[in-house]
A and B are shown apart, each in its own frame.
Chain A
Amino acid sequence: MRYKIGIDVGGTFTDLFLWSPAGAVETFKVLSTPEDPSIGVLDGLAAIAESKGESREALAAQVTTIVHGTTVTTNAVLTRGGAKTGLITTTGVRDALEMRRGIREEQYNNRLRNVVPLVPRRLRRPVRGRLDHAGAELLPLAEDDVRAAASLLKQEGCAAVAVCLMNAFANPAHEKRVTAIVRAVLPGAYLSVSTEVLPTIRFYNRASTTVLNAYVGPVFGAYMQNLASRLKEVGFRGVLLIMQSNGGVALPEVTAQHAASTLLSGPAAGPRAGVAYALEHGRSDAVVVDMGGTSFDASLVQKGEAALNNEGEIDRLRIALPMLAITTIGAGGGSIGWVDEGGLLNMGPQSAGARPGPACYGRSGELATCTDADLQLGYLDPAYFAWPLALDVDEAAAGIYRVINTNMAHGVREVTVKRGLDPRAFPLVVAGGAGALHACMIARELEIPTLLVPPTASVLCAAGMLLSDLQHDFVRSFVTPLASADWRALLCLVDEMTAAGGSQLEVEGIPPERATHQAALDLRYVKQYHEVTVPVPRAAIERADLEAIAALFHARHNQLYGYDLAAEGTPLELINVRVKSVGLAEKPALPRLAAGGADPGAALKGKRRVFLPERSAFGEAPVYDGHRLRAGNVIPGPALIERTDTTIFVSESFSARVDGLGSCVLTACAGSGGNE
């Protein structure tokens, strides 16, 4: 056998998705081992081997590809467990990192503290030397300052050094020289240089991203080394690929210099898997939601590609790298419901898994968790969840159910409406253990007509890892009025970045014919401050087709901001040029489920009293064994479909049909469009 394995290491569970050439797929879950996540990975391989009746070594020898998503870098930031890091920066601006432009995210909350910076002030070392706004040297670099700073950081025992100088985006010369000096003084340190990590304008974004990269670099490197040697020990000789925040995969050695690009490694594969199941129905767009124990993630796929943001935040720290556009809200199975002083019901963000909850804030009216409510409403089989109920009032449980559904619906709006898209136009792909209990009501809230619960719902990200392509993103500042742009220089830059992408992919074994490169321009109306990223065909740049490019921009601007200035003829400015290089990976085909008739009777296992949200009352619903359903089975709501790791609640206004991949496709029944 020649196996491929997707491995998603989460906070609690390590999910594995095994594919074999015979076309079968299997899913496995083992406990994560946060102190050294590679142990959990090996435990997972052992679990697979055991199920095959083979030794771990025998199994490992048959594995050709492992794609791995990891939260080691995310956790390093969240727990402040990254490397001791120093920052070398221009005199006068060393505090930008800690100031975060002076924001306090909650204006009326005087108890909200600033974020502890990843580099303390004494390790942020200023050096003299200055470039102007266009990159011309105003003051030569003071190399003695650099040597002194590097020596101090060495003395302090820094394992990583970030370098970010003012206006370096326009001229990397000073940063290059600093890098050479630091390398000489601190040969063993991980070096993160702003013009290599993110050569674009905006000092704080660049400094913060460069420091994040330095901070997680050594942690990522050590983990990779550890994992690689453990895999080698058990005889793995295949290719190891790492999931990146941008939804693509890359070789560990390519990722190592851009460790910050793995900060969203964990959830980044979800959209890819989600759309793979939607494709069964000819849909290449989808909203993918994943409801876990403490949080709810929503992401978006358009034309088969996961939507990305060019900047975001992790733990209130800015990171300006392309990363999966994912909205995370504090709504999970453990979220706690509580009643405020005005008598209104709220859910979370406190979670039972993350005390202190509301009771610790001296607030009365704490009710129960979302899982408590799901149990109370009959959605979960009490035999599986012997949790004590905090409350036995059906009405409260129904309220919790509705409020958390609304909160999650807002999460879906964040990734659709805020991007100018109508959520009703997308099928909702539902993942995570608890997601499928709530999905019908989220869909109703948003009037989404179609939902899809894949057979791999509880390990969707691990599945997605085997379905992801290799991907590298490049961005460079190119500031010019578009009308007077030097189109030849622009085309050269695009081609240069494309070539860089091509050669990186070649290192990863992707021949040119399997590589694609998409250019995009960050444009704005002249004198605007923020840009809109518009994908542009290379040919339009080659033809210097100002009009076609402008038309793309006007339309996008109106969609996002409610107006455009096309009629006024307001000129456009170009700020950054982007190239996304994708190498098509060989992806396994998903297995097909045997067909049966429409009648699901063979899978019926009983009945249960459940809450019927459409009529705000309890009633009887049949319960089906999800593992015994066949393609073509139709299950009208209300009904419960139970699998060992997921329960699907089909509400009254939906009807479920099992498709050829084993997904349950829930469709809103005609005439049920009303709202409760």
Chain B
Amino acid sequence: MSDVKIDKVLVSIIGRALKAITGEMSVSMEKSTRSPILCEAKDFVTGLYDAEGRMLEQTENLPILSFSLSPVCRHIAAAFKGDVHPGDVFFHNDVFTFGNQNNDVAAFKPIFHRERLVAWAATKGHQADIGGAVRGGYNPNATEVWQEALRIPAVKVYDRGKLRKDVWDLIFANIRLPIVMEDMRAEIGSCTVGERRLLELIDKYGLDVFEAHKEHLFEATAKMMEAEIRSIPSGTYHGEAQVYFDGKTPGSRYTIRVEITVADERIRFDYSATDPQTDGFVNGTYTSSASATILTFLQMVNPNIPHNDGMLRPIEIVIPEGTILNASYPAATTFGNHLCPPNADAIIRALAPAIPERVTAGWNQLLCSLSTGQDPRRRGSYVDILFMGLKGGSGALSGCDGYDHIGMIDASGGVLDQDYEMFEQQTPHRLISHEYLADSGGAGEFRGGLGVETVYQVGADDTQIVAFGDGDVEPAFGLFGGRPGTLNFIELRYPDGRVRRAASKDLVRGVPRGTVYVQQAGGGGGYGDPRRRPAETVREEVRNEVVSLVAARALYGVALDPETLEIDEQETARLRGR
């Protein structure tokens, strides 16, 4: 292999081809799955890994799932060493062997080129149910993993192309919804698509050439990342953020503390000073927390760096076990993915003084809900994560407003709203409204992205609603004179007049038909002094009713005639102190 002459152009070509393959795997999942969490919201990732488990390329619809696949792949390769064959398929979700979240179940398929293991295809998606005490997951009362989910350490479900029916049945006997079985078949199908295409690629150039050029691709990518890091002033930076309410003790709070050290072309994220783990389910796993760190940092560098092993080489992440970001066995951890937003806040705060032109203000934090029950129209059960409700605004940055209704930073617009009409087909509920929320985006020279208000009427008795998230205590923060966004909340208005404000981690059973569900996802933080925002822009936003007259005056210093909405130049100049 060492005598292969490296052709730099071929390196580019192979990199491009790998990207196309994981993209095709992603299309296969999106188009053939059942759960709206997968086919509508695209809460999954598809990837290719080399024989050692090193990342070749990924399509990261939801990046928080992404950076655990390579460690899991290494784990499977080691655990089954000598027992990996063509036609095998493995499942895995176990958070204590590098999984990120119980509901995120992966399928791995080894890829053989003429009887030699050359790579792995993997697809991981958020499954609609994974056993445990609560349908759909997110049991806020869990204190141990077994109360949350069925643990699937690496298990072989296909052996040399033959289904291991006993293993398969054991798994799906512990999962409530039959669609999970079909959606796991879709994951295997997606891996098969990846396998077919990668073998075509290797056949085309020859294995030796492919292998040698792959190494060069890693190195070239590492160099790109090193160049990005070198452009950050070397030094040590500190940031922190709060996690509110562990699902058990009202008023409880925990602090994430990160120390970031930039030394020339390397960067290190050290979470040693972060608070200890909780005794509930608000805990991260190493891979969910490290994914959060990586995806946040990737938004501060050139967005076109290929996603492979080389990208990660200059990055070191230290998260001691026993902290809220890396809980010890057998802790409950289902909330772990959702520690990404505060983790991101800590990183942004730390790096804002160093690279003010590259960081955003704070993003709206996730607050989400999941409804489940029986659909009386079809006498069948359903699970729906209300993606359209959770998507608030992103933080603004220098020269650019925040993105409206984008959702949590860990998806960054990769996770989509349900289509409204499909929502009414797939759940018994009726959508009343889903609209931008005026004045939700933090005021600034660059405005924070807008949040949304979502209202629906519950369509069946005995509906169960699980809330999970944050952002109901502290809004998305502004930067450099920008103002904060607005808070999240979820409220249930019962037919008998009672109103219940859901806690940020909550399980509400027996919600009756006719209840009105109201959710606000807040806006992102603003960037820079709002009085520097062009008055004409503010006026246009008032005309479109996304900024109110009152806010235009009080926050932006723009006076408008309430009838004509014309700018009162004199008054505006006075308000703006000019």
User: Chain A residues in contact with chain B, CB under 8 A?
Assistant: 91-96, 98-99, 101-114, 120-122, 130, 132-133, 138, 166-167, 169, 201-205, 340-346, 399, 402-403, 406-407, 410, 413, 417-418, 447, 479, 525, 527-530, 532, 557, 560-563, 565, 570, 675
Q: A102-B391, A107-B412, A114-B404 are in contact. Are A675 and B204 (CB under 8 A)?
A: yes
Q: A103-B413, A343-B8, A530-B30 are in contact. Are A563 and B228 (CB under 8 A)?
A: no
Instruction: Establish whether residues A399 and B8, one from each chain, have CB atoms under 8 Å apart when the complex forms.
Output: yes
Instruction: Establish whether residues B9 and A527, one from each chain, have CB atoms under 8 Å apart when the complex forms.
Output: no
How far is A204 from B40 in the complex, measured between Cα atoms in Å?
12
Instruction: Establish whether residues B186 and A108, one from each chain, have CB atoms under 8 Å apart when the complex forms.
Output: no
Which range holds the interface residue count of chain B?
Answer: 35 or more
The interface bits of chain B over 209-253 (1 if a CB of A lies within 8 angstroms of the residue's CB, else 0) are 000000000011111100110000000000000000000000000
Which one, A110, A138, A413, A525, contacts B397 given CB within 8 A? A110
- What A residues does B63 contact at CB under 8 A? 107
Instruction: Report the minimal beta-carbon distance from A247 to chain B, rounded to whole angstroms.
Output: 23
Question: Is B15 positioned at the interface, with any CB of A under 8 Å from its CB?
Answer: yes
Question: Is B316 positioned at the interface, with any CB of A under 8 Å from its CB?
Answer: no
Instruction: Establish whether residues A342 and B221, one from each chain, have CB atoms under 8 Å apart when the complex forms.
Output: yes
Q: A102-B413, A344-B220 are in contact. Are A561 and B32 (CB under 8 A)?
A: yes
Instruction: Establish whether residues B193 and A562, one from each chain, have CB atoms under 8 Å apart when the complex forms.
Output: yes
* Smallest CB gap from A406: residue in B: B13
- What A residues does B182 contact at CB under 8 A? 525, 527, 565, 570
How far is A91 from B188 in the complex, measured between Cα atoms in Å?
42
How far is A105 from B61 in the complex, measured between Cα atoms in Å?
10
Q: With contacts A104-B414, A345-B8, A527-B182 known, what are 4 further pairs, Cβ within 8 A? A: A93-B420, A108-B299, A560-B32, A561-B28
Instruction: Report the minimal beta-carbon distance from A482 to chain B, rounded to whole angstroms.
Output: 16
The interface bits of chain B over 421-438 (1 if a CB of A lies within 8 angstroms of the residue's CB, else 0) are 110110000111111100
Question: Is B39 positioned at the interface, with any CB of A under 8 Å from its CB?
Answer: yes
How far is A202 from B425 in the complex, measured between Cα atoms in Å?
10
Question: Is B169 positioned at the interface, with any CB of A under 8 Å from its CB?
Answer: no
Q: A102-B416, A107-B63, A557-B32 are in contact. Are A528 and B388 (CB under 8 A)?
A: no
How far is A167 from B423 in the complex, measured between Cα atoms in Å?
11
- What B residues does A447 contact at CB under 8 A? 204
* Smallest CB gap from B412: residue in A: A107
- What A residues does B189 contact at CB under 8 A? 561-563
Instruction: Establish whether residues B400 and A102, one from each chain, have CB atoms under 8 Å apart when the complex forms.
Output: no
Q: A96-B434, A563-B185 are in contact. Are A529 and B394 (CB under 8 A)?
A: no
How far is A345 from B188 in the complex, measured between Cα atoms in Å?
35
How far is A528 from B188 in the complex, measured between Cα atoms in Å?
16
Q: From B267-275, B365-373, B484-492, B538-546, give the one contacting chain A.
A: B538-546
Question: Is B12 positioned at the interface, with any CB of A under 8 Å from its CB?
Answer: yes
* Smallest CB gap from B427: residue in A: A133
Instruction: Establish whether residues A92 and B228, one from each chain, have CB atoms under 8 Å apart when the complex forms.
Output: no
Instruction: Report the minimal beta-carbon distance from B574 to chain A, rounded to whole angstroms.
Output: 28
Question: Is B303 positioned at the interface, with any CB of A under 8 Å from its CB?
Answer: yes
Instruction: Establish whether residues B9 and A167, one from each chain, have CB atoms under 8 Å apart when the complex forms.
Output: no
Q: A101-B416, A402-B9 are in contact. Are A563 and B186 (CB under 8 A)?
A: yes
Instruction: Establish whether residues A527 and B34, one from each chain, have CB atoms under 8 Å apart when the complex forms.
Output: yes
Q: A92-B455, A104-B403, A529-B40 are in contact. Are A342 and B224 (CB under 8 A)?
A: yes
- What A residues does B501 contact at CB under 8 A? none
Question: Is B60 positioned at the interface, with any CB of A under 8 Å from its CB?
Answer: yes
The 6 closest A-B pairs by CB, nearest first: A104-B413, A92-B433, A563-B189, A342-B220, A562-B192, A562-B189
Question: Is B405 positioned at the interface, with any CB of A under 8 Å from its CB?
Answer: yes
Q: A203-B420, A345-B8 are in contact. Are A132 and B188 (CB under 8 A)?
A: no
Q: A102-B388, A110-B299 are in contact. Are A562 and B190 (CB under 8 A)?
A: yes
Instruction: Establish whether residues B421 and A529, one from each chain, have CB atoms under 8 Å apart when the complex forms.
Output: no
Q: A96-B434, A403-B13 are in contact. Are A107 and B60 (CB under 8 A)?
A: yes
- What B residues does A121 contact at CB under 8 A? 436, 544-546
* Smallest CB gap from A112: residue in B: B403
Which one, A114, A120, A345, A418, contacts B27 given CB within 8 A? A418
How far is A530 from B412 in the complex, measured between Cα atoms in Å?
23
- What A residues does B329 contact at CB under 8 A? none
Instruction: Establish whether residues B422 and A99, one from each chain, have CB atoms under 8 Å apart when the complex forms.
Output: no
Instruction: Establish whether residues B220 and A346, one from each chain, have CB atoms under 8 Å apart when the complex forms.
Output: no
How far is A105 from B430 in the complex, measured between Cα atoms in Å?
29
Instruction: Establish whether residues A104 and B406, one from each chain, have CB atoms under 8 Å apart when the complex forms.
Output: yes
Instruction: Establish whether residues A166 and B420, one from each chain, have CB atoms under 8 Å apart when the complex forms.
Output: yes
Which one, B20, B304, B360, B405, contacts A99 given CB within 8 A? B405
The interface bits of chain B over 165-204 (1 if a CB of A lies within 8 angstroms of the residue's CB, else 0) are 0000000000000010010011011111100110000001
How far is A341 from B221 in the complex, measured between Cα atoms in Å?
9
- What B residues does A530 contact at CB under 8 A? 30-32, 39
Instruction: Report the minimal beta-carbon distance from B90 to chain A, rounded to whole angstroms.
Output: 16
Question: Is B462 positioned at the interface, with any CB of A under 8 Å from its CB?
Answer: no
Instruction: Establish whether residues A345 and B12, one from each chain, have CB atoms under 8 Å apart when the complex forms.
Output: yes
How far is A417 from B222 in the complex, measured between Cα atoms in Å?
31
| Most interface-central of B36, B425, B545 (chain A CB within 10 A) | B425
Instruction: Report the minimal beta-carbon distance from A170 to chain B, rounded to whole angstroms.
Output: 9
| Most interface-central of A103, A413, A447 (chain B CB within 10 A) | A103
- What B residues does A205 contact at CB under 8 A? 419
How far is A95 from B32 in the complex, measured between Cα atoms in Å?
28
Which one, A106, A114, A345, A527, contacts B303 given CB within 8 A? A106
Instruction: Report the minimal beta-carbon distance from A100 to chain B, rounded to whole angstroms.
Output: 9
25 contacts between A and B (CB under 8 A): A92-B434, A93-B431, A95-B405, A95-B436, A98-B436, A102-B406, A102-B407, A103-B413, A110-B299, A110-B394, A110-B400, A111-B397, A122-B544, A132-B430, A341-B223, A342-B219, A343-B220, A345-B9, A447-B204, A528-B33, A530-B30, A532-B31, A562-B189, A562-B190, A563-B32
- What B residues does A95 contact at CB under 8 A? 405, 434-436, 452
How far is A110 from B525 in the complex, measured between Cα atoms in Å?
14
- What A residues does B417 contact at CB under 8 A? 99, 101-102, 204
Instruction: Establish whether residues A561 and B543, one from each chain, have CB atoms under 8 Å apart when the complex forms.
Output: no
- What B residues does A109 contact at CB under 8 A? 299, 303
Instruction: Establish whether residues A529 and B39, one from each chain, have CB atoms under 8 Å apart when the complex forms.
Output: yes
Question: Is B24 positioned at the interface, with any CB of A under 8 Å from its CB?
Answer: yes
- What A residues does B434 contact at CB under 8 A? 92-93, 95-96
Instruction: Establish whether residues B430 and A99, one from each chain, have CB atoms under 8 Å apart when the complex forms.
Output: no
- What A residues does B430 contact at CB under 8 A? 130, 132, 138
Instruction: Report the minimal beta-carbon distance from A483 to chain B, rounded to whole angstroms.
Output: 15
Instruction: Report the minimal beta-carbon distance from A539 to chain B, rounded to whole angstroms.
Output: 29
The interface bits of chain B over 514-552 (1 if a CB of A lies within 8 angstroms of the residue's CB, else 0) are 000000000000000000000000000001111000000
Question: Is B401 positioned at the interface, with any CB of A under 8 Å from its CB?
Answer: yes
Instruction: Establish whether residues A169 and B421, one from each chain, have CB atoms under 8 Å apart when the complex forms.
Output: yes
The interface bits of chain B over 360-388 (1 if a CB of A lies within 8 angstroms of the residue's CB, else 0) are 10000000000000000000000000011
Q: A106-B303, A344-B12, A529-B36 are in contact. Are A201 and B421 (CB under 8 A)?
A: yes
| Most interface-central of B387, B422, B545, B546 (chain A CB within 10 A) | B422
Q: List B residues 254-284 near A (Cβ within 8 Å).
A: none
How far is A111 from B303 in the complex, measured between Cα atoms in Å?
10
- What A residues does B543 contact at CB under 8 A? 122
* Smallest CB gap from A343: residue in B: B220
Instruction: Establish whether residues A410 and B31, one from each chain, have CB atoms under 8 Å apart when the complex forms.
Output: no
* Smallest CB gap from B15: residue in A: A344
- What B residues does A342 contact at CB under 8 A? 219-224, 227
| Most interface-central of A342, A344, A345, A557 (chain B CB within 10 A) | A342
Q: A99-B404, A675-B204 are in contact. Are A528 and B39 (CB under 8 A)?
A: yes
Instruction: Establish whether residues A417 and B33, one from each chain, have CB atoms under 8 Å apart when the complex forms.
Output: no
Instruction: Report the minimal beta-carbon distance from B572 to chain A, rounded to whole angstroms.
Output: 21
* Smallest CB gap from B424: residue in A: A133
Which one, A102, A344, A418, contacts B8 given CB within 8 A? A344
Instruction: Report the minimal beta-carbon distance from A662 to chain B, rounded to whole angstroms.
Output: 33
- What B residues does A406 contact at CB under 8 A? 12-13, 16
Instruction: Establish whether residues A562 and B196, one from each chain, have CB atoms under 8 Å apart when the complex forms.
Output: yes
Question: Is B205 positioned at the interface, with any CB of A under 8 Å from its CB?
Answer: yes
- What B residues does A532 contact at CB under 8 A? 31
Instruction: Establish whether residues A417 and B403, one from each chain, have CB atoms under 8 Å apart when the complex forms.
Output: no
